[in-house]
Structure 1
Amino acid sequence: MKPLILITTLTLLSAAVSYDFPHLQTLRSSASSSTQGKAAADLIERLIGDRSSDFVVEIDKGIGPQDMFELSSLENGKVKIVASGGVAAAMGFYHYFKYFCNGQRTWAGKQAELPSILPTLKTPIKISSLDMFRYYQNVCTLSYTSAFWDWDRWEQEIDWMALHGINLPLAFVGQEAIFQRMYLSMGFSQEDLEEHFGGPAFLAWARMGNIRGWGGPLPQMWITQKLLLQHKILKRMRDLGMMPVLPAFAGHVPAAITRVFPKANVTRLGNWGHFNSTYSGTYLLDFEDPLFQTFGKKFIEMQTAEYGTNHIYNADTFNEMRPASSDPAYIAQAGKYVFTAMTAGDPQAIWLMQGWMFLSPFWQPPQVKALVTAVPKGRMIILDLASEIEPVYQKFDSYYGQPFIWCMLHNFGGTMELYGAIDSINQGPSKGRNFPDSTMVGIGMTPEGIHQNEVIYEFMAENAWRAKPRDLNQWFASFAQQRYGHKNDDVNQAWKLLMSSVYNSSDGHRDHDLAMITKRPSVKYDVSSDLWYNPEDLFKAWDGFINASGALQASSLFHYDIADVSRNSLQVIAMNFFTDMIKAYRAKDIATVKKNGASMSELLTDLNHLLCSNERYLLGLWIADARAWAVDSSEKTLMEYNARNQITLWGPDGEIHDYASKQWCGVVAE
């Protein structure tokens, strides 16, 4: 039975958040109140089944300038959720689900056992978001994690987004179909595009102009099926009131442009990531060439005709690629022409750009200022992509008046290291909001890959409405009870230890800094230089999970967590064995080399057995998902090769080897 839906149609208030960005304030979901209410109700039903009838959802777009919800108990025992939109309603439900019913919904599963009688709210609870936007995804997530997702998996992820308050998600699926349509209409051949598009697991970097053709050719059925999938993704996002971010033309073109348009002014960029010229050295159309405006306009028009638009577009012209000139005048022209190409296709366009490139020494204040001020104020949003470890909005005076989003990158390559910068995540967003003349308009989560460190994402998402830093001990205790449905002193102590050690990196370490056992070895390795915490704290936390295993054995999320902590602990022990082996090697102590080598080998066998015990750590699922997209044996081979290469060699000859390595059963050992 679905939850009762009451819909009000009060007039939309035009005065949104009190920022000096009028164009942003006009952004609204086009979905009706009834559509958003039904989408939120359906989500609740997917999560808790028949108990969803205990919740009443009411959408009232006029209750506040920001996204907000109000929770109250009705006389019949039901809980009423009044919200400004579908996402806000999902947030309201999740707040009650977590903090009154000890529930949780994460990538690894859910704890959804509700009390037989819902807890009564003595007084209504009203919570409002602090910013305009809650952004989600990284352009790389579409390759490192979701490359082979089907609709069922996307539906689960969009539910997760809504529950965690995401209203500005990246929606990059299906763009190759539009680019194909555009290029073929302009004289390019299918063979030209086969050399241009990357393979299924490497599209992120082909889209950004880093590589071309590697992992391909991209099958036509893949292109077509992704187009159909994108329609489903966008419909669900929009039904919930989200504003999906679509791609725009950034200037990267097929190499065949020199044949199709011999007078075009193009530059061949330098090689990227150790790739040779066969797959790198991509072509960039000059911004002042009239073709740039033609391509940019036509792409957005074709994309809008196919998918509709919410007027926000991502384009990253120089991501990890050095511009042809550091002259601010050149940089300003580049920004101007990328934006005018967008507005040629959509006069209401807003350019959303990843700020990752601004960490490069190339981008000094004159260059950054030239780029961002070339676009009218409020018509560009910059993702301060890794604010929790390297915020750059401070260096560039809050982006010289352009709005930015404070983002937590957290993960590189989809690796699985236990990691977090909890103090920074706890304090950083409020610092961003209070920065002098701050132009911060939201928070974001921008991991390169997901399915790891779920506690960090639960914590970060609450920054949408948490105005002040939280008491970490109290929050982690609540998290553990929500995750397993019960209080347990052993596991509470374990999470407290993890919070103060592996999840409290404050010295510049990133999640992939530890030389994991799935990476190729080095004779210079020393584990102590890679640890930002005392490993004894990790081992004590491991003991806590083991001690709690009897009481919490019924929880599938506990099974996942104890496997995760065990995995990370065994990894650290293995790398200690390896460090001792390297020291013995340098001392030419062959006996000790053999001893530590044997110990490490035995431990890796144990680790593989552990990984094989939990479906979340099976290589076979990644491979099966990849092969499911194929229509014949040759495509199955291509899909599997893409899946295997990305997590190992990452390139034909190991150009970016091990960057996306996974500790999975079937990778650690066959």
Structure 2
Amino acid sequence: MNRINMLFKSVLLLFLAFAVRTANAQTYESVKDLVSRRVPWLSSSVIFSTIPAADGKDVFELSTHNNKLKIKASNANAAAQGLGWYLKYYCKRSMSHFGDNLSVVAKLPVIDQKVRIVSPYPYRYALNYCTISYSMSFYRWADWERELDWMALNGVNLVLAPVGMEAVWQNTLKKIGYTDKETKDFIAGPAFSAWWLMGNMEGWGGPVSQTLIDQQAALQQNIIKRMKTLGIEPVMHGFYGMIPTTLKTKMDIKVIDQGKWAGGFTRPDFLTTTDPSFKKIADIYYTEMKNLYGTDLHYFGGDPFHEGGSSKGVDLSSSAATIQQVMQDHYPKSTWVLQGWQSNPATKLLDGLDRKKTLVIELFGENTNNWEQRHGYEGTPFVWSNVSNFGEKNGIYGKLQRFADEVYRAKQSQYGQFLSGVGIIPEGIYNNPVAFDLMLELGWRSNHVDVKQWIKNYQEYRYGKSTPELEKAWQLLLKTAYSSPEIYQEGPSESIFCARPGIAIKTVSSWGTRKRNYDIAQFKEAVKAFVAAAPQFKGSETYQTDLIDFVRQVQANKGDLVYKDMMDAIQARDPEKFKASSLQFQQLIRQQDSLLSNNRYFTLNRWLQQAMSFGSTPEDKVIALKNAKAQLTYWGPDTNPKTDLHEYAHKEWAGLLSSLYLHRWEKFTKEQLAKMEQPDVQVPDYFKMETTWAERPDLYVPTLLPGKTLKELINRILK
């Protein structure tokens, strides 16, 4: 009997050993697939296995043995971050929105001692509602697949993903009596869905077709499925009382008129939570959410009274409690994710919530410290984040050391117990990759980061290697455009080239700044040092992209000086001086356009081609193209020439500079020269120019300069 028992135990042990090996062999298949997609040369050399969480915190371990990389991790997300860590700090390889450096590493780098990294935070968060529209309006599955791979490699585990909400709203409104046309009149176009979902507008950029609605729903299903396999939680869009302004004409309901938003847009109404229809509509909304996207959802966004919406007569605490309760009824134990922006979320709103099921995203950490002034949002878990970019406008910018300082300070403060994570909240993500890399890495570091030291590793993995020239350049960049002055600034300093022409322009967009809060001469020295390394990086996409971007900034800075000469000439009523400075200014724009034509990330054509590929039918393509062009220029609406949203999302892009911005400045020059002879001269109708331009079907294919010519142009700009 003992022998039988021993034999049984032996068989059992062998079975268990086999089961463990089999389980380990199948561990983190999604991350293995990521390896195959992005770094296939590593596929046969990496082995994944599981380890327990570190006191409930995500953890990964790295080691090498017998020419194999071993990644042990507590979950798929930590495993992907471990892979990203190895690529960056051992292979000197990286992925970004501004180019990849993922070429084959001939010999597997050896890790001398096992690396163990524990994330101090439960959340590493990404995306702003605006990112969905300024960067991702026309994303298809291949774009989202790449985006999620990048996020996973950077350890992001919570992502705002309000894609496919058109179908939820369509099904909801249909069940309360809306016609197809009435529904589509409410839904915004693809480049404006962010502001529709935030309750700032309705219908602008539409009407969308059924094809597009179905396309986005299918896309969202793929996004959610992939997120789950990579250990990423989607933040869906919850029901918070936003309803069409037309609903009050169909139902006897009590609403709060939300007034006007920027640009003169009419906001959707807020349905009071005490109205019996609130729960009825919310129940339909969440039922349709489940039908489309499942029950395995745990985070929901949605901000009542966002950016100045009226809460007059509303019991905020009671309303918040109702909004959260109906969310819990449909998705038990879910978390309501709120934007910490301006005065939101109001203290009274938070008072009505179960704080354990609430998460506040502090958006504007590079300029504010609401987490401190609000005493850890009155004891609510929060994520420290930075916006860094508004409207995805070009500009070298990022208060890098402040990112590191503030995260560390918040963690060490008396409110540190409420700091639940870090995140990136850019309005546009195709810019300044260094800012995103640093911020997301802070989600895996407990120590206080010295950016002057950190940047040395960054430049190695960004370009594959470093040089003395790069070292000098990046240290000067940290002293200039990437410094952290205690100055309030909404995104990068703007380019005068992109401004709607005028006298003494202070801002290109309504809330931006033209002021350079750094020494532009020293910045130019940084760029010269960077360019000096060019012969060693001829085949590097990341280096070539940064080179174009840095030189672009030098030219934009020069534009400010020439614009001042133009204004001085107008003030002195000196037509010859004005004519000379204007011609010089226009030549700078032409040079900028030629420079940017040589990199796809700075071309209008890339954005417009994406819009054209987004639509499946001729009608869809027309809508998408108009959305893409309107967003860049006058923004909207069509009926408001004085809209304060014009140029909010301006871009220094090849094609846009030459086809619109240059012509506006040429009109301005003629107007001002005529005024010097006769004051009563008609002002050019720039709004008409912009709306006409947005209606054109042109795609503005860029013309590449020969290598020698491009080099000569760069040298002229840097003289």
After superposition, the Cα gap between the structure-2 partners of 1:234 and 1:529, relative to the gap in structure 1 and judged at 3 Å, is closer
Does structure 2 retain, via aligned residues, the 8 Å contact 1:414–1:449? yes
2:55 matches 1:69: no
The SS at the match of 1:213 is: coil
TM-score when scaled to structure 1?
Answer: 0.90
Residue number in structure 1 paired with 2:280: 294
Letter in 2 for 1:560: T
Cα distance in 2 for residues equivalent to 1:457 and 1:379: 27
Cα distance in 1 for residues equivalent to 2:448 and 2:481: 19
Cα distance in 1 for residues equivalent to 2:450 and 2:248: 60
Does structure 2 retain, via aligned residues, the 8 Å contact 1:526–1:579? no
Does structure 1 retain, via aligned residues, the 8 Å contact 2:134–2:427? yes
Q: Which 10-residue stretch deviates more, 489-498 or 155-164?
A: 489-498
Does structure 2 retain, via aligned residues, the 8 Å contact 1:34–1:59? no
Cα distance in 2 for residues equivalent to 1:137 and 1:405: 12
The alpha carbon displacement at 1:132 in A equals: 0.6
The SS at the match of 2:49 is: strand
2:242 matches 1:264: no
Residue number in structure 1 paired with 2:162: 172
Residue number in structure 1 paired with 2:501: 521
Residue number in structure 2 paired with 1:306: 292
Residue number in structure 1 paired with 2:688: none
Cα distance in 1 for residues equivalent to 2:506 and 2:75: 52
Correspondent of 2:347 among 366, 369, 374: 369
Cα distance in 2 for residues equivalent to 1:148 and 1:470: 36
Does structure 2 retain, via aligned residues, the 8 Å contact 1:298–1:345? no
The SS at the match of 2:28 is: helix
Cα distance in 2 for residues equivalent to 1:8 and 1:168: 35
Does structure 1 retain, via aligned residues, the 8 Å contact 2:208–2:623? no
Correspondent of 2:536 among 540, 543, 551: 551
The alpha carbon displacement at 1:383 in A equals: 0.5
2:95 matches 1:117: no
Does structure 1 retain, via aligned residues, the 8 Å contact 2:611–2:624? yes
Correspondent of 2:235 among 209, 225, 245: 245
Does structure 2 retain, via aligned residues, the 8 Å contact 1:297–1:341? yes
Cα distance in 1 for residues equivalent to 2:465 and 2:208: 48
Does structure 2 retain, via aligned residues, the 8 Å contact 1:140–1:448? yes
After superposition, the Cα gap between the structure-2 partners of 1:8 and 1:641, relative to the gap in structure 1 and judged at 3 Å, is farther
The alpha carbon displacement at 1:595 in A equals: 1.4
Letter in 1 for 2:250: V
Correspondent of 2:593 among 608, 611, 633: 608
Q: Which 10-residue stretch deviates more, 167-176 or 587-596?
A: 587-596
2:176 matches 1:186: yes
Cα distance in 1 for residues equivalent to 2:52 and 2:256: 49
Cα distance in 2 for residues equivalent to 1:222 and 1:137: 23
Residue number in structure 2 paired with 1:563: 548
Cα distance in 2 for residues equivalent to 1:9 and 1:324: 59
Cα deviation code 1:496-519 (max 9, x no counterpart) = 111111011421223244354212
Residue number in structure 1 paired with 2:679: none
Residue number in structure 2 paired with 1:232: 222
Correspondent of 2:614 among 597, 619, 629: 629
Residue number in structure 1 paired with 2:194: 204
Residue number in structure 2 paired with 1:574: 559
Does structure 2 retain, via aligned residues, the 8 Å contact 1:210–1:321? no
In structure 2, the gaps of 5 or more residues are 1-15, 508-512, 660-719
Residue number in structure 1 paired with 2:81: 91
Residue number in structure 2 paired with 1:354: 339
Which structure features the higher share of helix residues?
Answer: 2
Identity of aligned residues (%): 29
After superposition, the Cα gap between the structure-2 partners of 1:33 and 1:220, relative to the gap in structure 1 and judged at 3 Å, is farther
Cα distance in 2 for residues equivalent to 1:486 and 1:242: 31
Residue number in structure 2 paired with 1:454: 433
Cα distance in 1 for residues equivalent to 2:464 and 2:132: 32
The alpha carbon displacement at 1:35 in A equals: 7.5
After superposition, the Cα gap between the structure-2 partners of 1:468 and 1:398, relative to the gap in structure 1 and judged at 3 Å, is same
Correspondent of 1:282 among 268, 271, 292: 268
2:25 matches 1:39: no
The alpha carbon displacement at 1:62 in A equals: 4.7
Cα distance in 1 for residues equivalent to 2:473 and 2:112: 34
Residue number in structure 1 paired with 2:648: 659
Does structure 2 retain, via aligned residues, the 8 Å contact 1:419–1:505? no
After superposition, the Cα gap between the structure-2 partners of 1:523 and 1:266, relative to the gap in structure 1 and judged at 3 Å, is same
Residue number in structure 1 paired with 2:415: 437
Q: Which 10-residue stretch deviates more, 521-530 or 222-231?
A: 521-530
The SS at the match of 2:318 is: helix
Does structure 2 retain, via aligned residues, the 8 Å contact 1:351–1:381? yes
Letter in 1 for 2:175: S
Q: Write the mapping of 1:366-515 to structure 2, written as runs, cut at 5 A.
A: 368-438=346-416, 439-506=418-485, 507-515=487-495
Cα distance in 1 for residues equivalent to 2:24 and 2:292: 24
The alpha carbon displacement at 1:545 in A equals: 2.1
Does structure 2 retain, via aligned residues, the 8 Å contact 1:67–1:85? yes
The SS at the match of 1:394 is: helix
Letter in 1 for 2:627: N
Cα distance in 2 for residues equivalent to 1:623 and 1:67: 40
Residue number in structure 2 paired with 1:27: none
Does structure 2 retain, via aligned residues, the 8 Å contact 1:319–1:357? no
The alpha carbon displacement at 1:34 in A equals: 8.1
Residue number in structure 1 paired with 2:672: none
Letter in 2 for 1:420: G
Cα distance in 2 for residues equivalent to 1:519 and 1:35: 55
Residue number in structure 2 paired with 1:22: none
Cα distance in 1 for residues equivalent to 2:551 and 2:72: 43
The alpha carbon displacement at 1:347 in A equals: 2.6
Does structure 2 retain, via aligned residues, the 8 Å contact 1:69–1:84? yes
What is the aligned-residue RMSD (CA, Å)? Answer: 2.1
The alpha carbon displacement at 1:658 in A equals: 0.4
Cα distance in 1 for residues equivalent to 2:178 and 2:300: 25
Cα deviation code 1:382-412 (max 9, x no counterpart) = 0011112112011111011111110111111
The alpha carbon displacement at 1:635 in A equals: 2.6
Residue number in structure 1 paired with 2:51: 60
Does structure 1 retain, via aligned residues, the 8 Å contact 2:241–2:278? yes
Letter in 2 for 1:211: M
Does structure 1 retain, via aligned residues, the 8 Å contact 2:41–2:104? no
After superposition, the Cα gap between the structure-2 partners of 1:400 and 1:569, relative to the gap in structure 1 and judged at 3 Å, is same
The alpha carbon displacement at 1:122 in A equals: 2.2
After superposition, the Cα gap between the structure-2 partners of 1:512 and 1:500, relative to the gap in structure 1 and judged at 3 Å, is closer
Cα deviation code 1:631-650 (max 9, x no counterpart) = 33333221111100001010
Cα distance in 1 for residues equivalent to 2:589 and 2:166: 41
Correspondent of 2:138 among 148, 156, 176: 148
Does structure 2 retain, via aligned residues, the 8 Å contact 1:292–1:341? no
Cα deviation code 1:441-473 (max 9, x no counterpart) = 000111011110011111111101222332322
Correspondent of 1:82 among 72, 75, 83: 72
After superposition, the Cα gap between the structure-2 partners of 1:515 and 1:614, relative to the gap in structure 1 and judged at 3 Å, is closer
Letter in 2 for 1:68: V
In structure 1, the gaps of 5 or more residues are 1-5, 11-31
Cα distance in 1 for residues equivalent to 2:391 and 2:397: 13
User: Could you say which structure has the larger radius of gyration?
Assistant: 2
2:51 matches 1:51: no
Q: Which 10-residue stretch deviates more, 458-467 or 127-136?
A: 458-467
Does structure 2 retain, via aligned residues, the 8 Å contact 1:63–1:83? no
Cα distance in 2 for residues equivalent to 1:630 and 1:441: 39
After superposition, the Cα gap between the structure-2 partners of 1:324 and 1:137, relative to the gap in structure 1 and judged at 3 Å, is same
After superposition, the Cα gap between the structure-2 partners of 1:81 and 1:213, relative to the gap in structure 1 and judged at 3 Å, is same
Does structure 2 retain, via aligned residues, the 8 Å contact 1:647–1:661? yes
